[in-house]
Amino acid sequence: MPVTVEQLAEEMYEMVKEAMGKKSFKATDLTKAMIAAHGETVTKDDCKHAIRLLIDSGRCVYSYFGGSFITLPHKEGAAPE
């Protein structure tokens, strides 16, 4: 059964959420993890669309610290809840 882009996006989000503050993921790290987890049913293009879905929805953002990483959006100290 093929995995949908939305399912991939949700799994990627959970990976980033669990590793927040401990490890930073590049887009290729997430792609490799999804291909390893789902095998041939997932393509690089599927992963690319899933990452784009996360970024466009605002659930994840790109951060640049010596490289491009995908992280959760940071809240400013004075930002309202």
30-45 residue pLDDT tens: 999 999 999 889 999 9
- Determine the longest span between alpha carbons in the chain, in angstroms: 46
In order of start, what are the domains of the chain with their CATH numbers? Answer: 5-71 (1.10.10.10)
Q: What is the pLDDT of residue 75?
A: 74
Give the whole-angstrom CA distance, residue 43 versus residue 46.
Answer: 5
Which residues pair with residue 63 across a beta bridge?
69
Question: Model pTM?
Answer: 0.86
Q: Residues 1-33: pLDDT tens digits?
A: 688 999 999 999 999 999 988 998 999 999 999
